[in-house]
Chain A
Amino acid sequence: MSLAKSPWIIHVNVNSCNGCDIEVVACLTPLYDAERFGVLNIGTPKQADIMVVTGSVNYKNVNVLKNLYNQIPDPKVVLAVGACASTGGIFHDCYNVVGGVDQVIPVDAYVPGCCPRPEAILDGVVAALSILENKKKGNIKGKEVKLKGNEVPSNA
């Protein structure tokens, strides 16, 4: 139960239009008060449990995302917030966009919407908590994702 009582999140912005980001930040304001669930927005991946990703991944930041994912100690879950992070959203057919976050790292929960409301994001965090507990019980480790060299779009 201890994991569910103090979920610390790290917020990663990969190519987001900033719409989802301000909604994530809104969760932390006194109005929504995520801290009453023990949620803290931690700046360093080494202390985080939940990775909140916003925006579609592009070729420039693929390695950044993988690197941050590898630095989070187990057990960990990834929460894709917004249409972009889930599928690529309105940017899905841009020439530099890889697609949703799940193209690069394993995603455990999705929060759809463009942009999702802070309540929905908090719901997503709470959903991620039960996954986190299950991972803890089953001792499920996150996959180590390999960094690649300078990735280039396959159609370039």
Chain B
Amino acid sequence: MNTNDILLAVLVLIGAPIIGCIASGIDRKITARLQGRVGPPLLQPYYDVKKLLSKDNMVVNPSQNFYVVVYLVFIVLSLLMLVFKQDFLMIIFVYTVASIALIVGGMSTGSPYARIGSSREIMAILSYEPVLILYALAIYLLTGTFKLSAVVDASSPLLVYTPLIFIAMIVVLNIKLKKSPFDYSTSHHGHQELVKGMTTEYGGPGFATIEIAHFYEYVFLTGLIFLFWASNPIIGVLLGIIAYLLIIVIDNITARVYWQWMLKLSWSVLLIISIVNIAFLYVSGVQLA
């Protein structure tokens, strides 16, 4: 590790939540405009987090605090691994540990709302994880290694060979950002709702930690989309932004559906198009130049 790497790591640690916060603010602003309202200020998520940090921390169970910290740490770790072009398979595993920590945190409270939210989040993991693994497999077939450095250093973009996986990943992004039609495990903040699923029993600083972790997660997930055109960073970033805006629009034009529907969609349509894409890569034997 040289000084450059340390500098980059610090930059990511400070920059990612700022970008995530603004992205979340843009989300609320666009949602408001689509409903014909003025909407909150752009920095509203920042005010929310600041307020939450200044409140009492009320927990049902002291271990709740531990689980949110694990959630934050592993999200940050997976983002750092992505920035440092590490093993993609490993990144997926680290990211899964973060999601599991949040689920266990929700389960540990004993509140029925948190439990239902947590078990629905397990269903969400069940439905997006295979697609992520197939994404990793596609990277392996194209470059001969799971290391992301091979994808970033290649001169041609990944998207050309993996358009179907790209479509599947957009849906995965939708599930992971917990936007409708897939927001069963916790309703998103711009939506005023009775029960907030997994996060029902969190308040004050504990909930602020979850929000900050979400900011990192926004950057991490759009980073996964960025990889599709990593050979030209500008197009890659544009791709990430377009995907994010698309998901905000989908969020606003759809209503929540049963989790069974999500599972059927991902295990039939998404898996099949991903496998077709993988089969094509395997048969044609193309390599990322």
* Partner-binding segment picked from B176-184, B199-207, B281-289: B199-207
- Name the residue of chain B whose CB is nearest to the CB of A39: B40
Q: Determine whether the beta carbon of A30 is less than 8 Å from that of B35.
A: yes
Q: Determine whether the beta carbon of B47 is less than 8 Å from that of A5.
A: yes
1/0 contact trace for B53-75 toward A, CB 8 Å?
Answer: 01111100000000000000000
> Smallest CB–CB gap between B190 and chain A, Å?
8
> Smallest CB–CB gap between A86 and chain B, Å?
25
Q: Determine whether the beta carbon of B39 is less than 8 Å from that of A35.
A: yes
Q: Of the candidates B37, B56, B201, which one forms a contact with A30 in the assembled complex, judged by CB atoms under 8 Å apart?
A: B37
Q: In whole angstroms, what is the CA distance A5 to B51 when docked?
A: 8
* Partner-binding segment picked from A41-49, A99-107, A116-124: A41-49
A33-B37, A37-B40, A42-B196 known; 17 new pairs, CB 8 Å cut-off, are A2-B54, A3-B54, A5-B47, A6-B44, A6-B48, A8-B48, A28-B192, A33-B38, A33-B39, A35-B28, A35-B39, A38-B41, A41-B192, A44-B203, A46-B204, A47-B207, A73-B55
A46-B201, A49-B51 in contact; A35/B189 too (CB < 8 A)?
no
Q: In whole angstroms, what is the CA distance A37 to B54 when docked?
A: 19
Best-buried of B58, B193, B194 by chain A (most CB within 10 Å): B58
> Smallest CB–CB gap between A49 and chain B, Å?
7
Q: Determine whether the beta carbon of A6 is less than 8 Å from that of B196.
A: no
A residues in contact (CB < 8 Å) with B: 2-3, 5-6, 8, 28, 30, 33, 35-38, 40-44, 46-47, 49, 71, 73-75, 136
A-B pairs with beta carbons under 8 Å apart, 22 shown? A2-B50, A2-B51, A6-B50, A30-B35, A33-B32, A35-B32, A36-B38, A40-B192, A41-B192, A43-B195, A44-B200, A44-B201, A46-B200, A46-B201, A46-B202, A46-B204, A47-B52, A47-B207, A71-B58, A73-B55, A73-B57, A73-B203
Q: In whole angstroms, what is the CA distance A43 to B201 when docked?
A: 11
> By DSSP majority rule, is chain B's interface helix, strand, loop, or mixed?
loop
Q: Determine whether the beta carbon of B40 is less than 8 Å from that of A46.
A: no
Category for how many chain B residues contact A: 20 to 34
> Smallest CB–CB gap between A46 and chain B, Å?
3
> Smallest CB–CB gap between B69 and chain A, Å?
18
> Smallest CB–CB gap between A41 and chain B, Å?
4
Q: In whole angstroms, what is the CA distance A41 to B28 when docked?
A: 15
Q: Of the candidates B47, B195, B202, which one forms a contact with A38 in the assembled complex, judged by CB atoms under 8 Å apart?
A: B47
Q: Of the candidates B55, B192, B200, which one forms a contact with A74 in the assembled complex, judged by CB atoms under 8 Å apart?
A: B55
> Smallest CB–CB gap between B285 and chain A, Å?
53
Q: In whole angstroms, what is the CA distance A44 to B40 when docked?
A: 21
Residues of B within 8 A of A49 (CB): 51, 55
Residues of A within 8 A of B207 (CB): 46-47
Residues of B within 8 A of A41 (CB): 192
The 7 A-B pairs of least Cβ separation, nearest first, read A46-B203, A73-B56, A43-B194, A41-B192, A5-B47, A2-B50, A33-B37
Residues of A within 8 A of B41 (CB): 36, 38
Q: In whole angstroms, what is the CA distance A73 to B52 when docked?
A: 10
Q: In whole angstroms, what is the CA distance A6 to B21 when docked?
A: 15
- Name the residue of chain B whose CB is nearest to the CB of A43: B194
- Name the residue of chain B whose CB is nearest to the CB of A5: B47
Q: In whole angstroms, what is the CA distance A33 to B32 when docked?
A: 9
Q: In whole angstroms, what is the CA distance A136 to B35 when docked?
A: 34
> Smallest CB–CB gap between B115 and chain A, Å?
14
Best-buried of A44, A73, A74 by chain B (most CB within 10 Å): A44
- Name the residue of chain B whose CB is nearest to the CB of A37: B40
> Smallest CB–CB gap between A6 and chain B, Å?
5
Q: In whole angstroms, what is the CA distance A15 to B275 when docked?
A: 57
Q: In whole angstroms, what is the CA distance A36 to B32 when docked?
A: 9
Residues of B within 8 A of A33 (CB): 32, 37-39
Residues of A within 8 A of B194 (CB): 43
Q: In whole angstroms, what is the CA distance A36 to B54 when docked?
A: 22
